[in-house]
Structure 1
Amino acid sequence: MIVDDSKSMRMIVKRTLKQAGFDTMEFEEAEDGTDALAKIDDYMPQLVLCDWNMPEMNGIDFLKAIRAAGNTVKFGFVTTESTAEMRAEAKAAGAQFLIAKPFTAETFEKTLQPVLRQP
């Protein structure tokens, strides 16, 4: 699941995932945390790639909401900001990684391969 308030960024993330070798994956998209929260139980993704700053519900609040509901989906942020504080907050909330924009296919491959191999 790709969660970002920018349609063009969702398309870029999807294209970069395909370039990184994840071309067999199916992708559900959501415009923000509220939209993603409404879709996640029906879609049941194996991975969520989420922006941090979005209207309605931001990424960290979305992550906290799904974790509070018992959802253990693999989760990571793809965001412009990546301060040490944000990385620590993301990890404490249950995110496996944070990828900073701009990113490359190689970044996605290096970051996601170990996460997707985890049981």
Structure 2
Amino acid sequence: MYYLDTNYPFEQFKMDIAVEPYVDKSMLINKLNPLIKTRNRYVCITRPRRFGKTMNANMLGAYYTQDYDAYEYFKDLKIAQVESFKEHINKYHVIYIDFSRLPDPCHSFEEYISWIKNA
């Protein structure tokens, strides 16, 4: 798996929005857009188990990752009504690392991090 500009979050997000009921949390993007290119651009989103962290990470990856056209998947969500919507969609390099599962060749998180460094 490649970590820079991977299509994984985009593919996952497409599946997420196809499930009924889909709860639109796209306004999270509106909170993050003003932070781009500021000192506060690094954001840690923490929630208890089963509160949608992975789904939100996939949504953010699908929205920001360049080389993909996610417009069709976001155009009917609340974020599409925001002025900065088109300014930021699919415009950035995104590093996507999923720590919820280990890749096959890794047996520990230390191995996983080493594997990422050498990829």
Please indicate, yes or no, whether the TM-score normalized by the shorter chain is above 0.5.
no
For the pair shown, which has the larger CA radius of gyration, 1 or 2? 2
TM-score, normalisation: structure 1: 0.30
Higher RCO structure, 1 or 2 (CA under 8 Å, sep 6+): 2
Q: Name the structure with the higher strand share.
A: 1
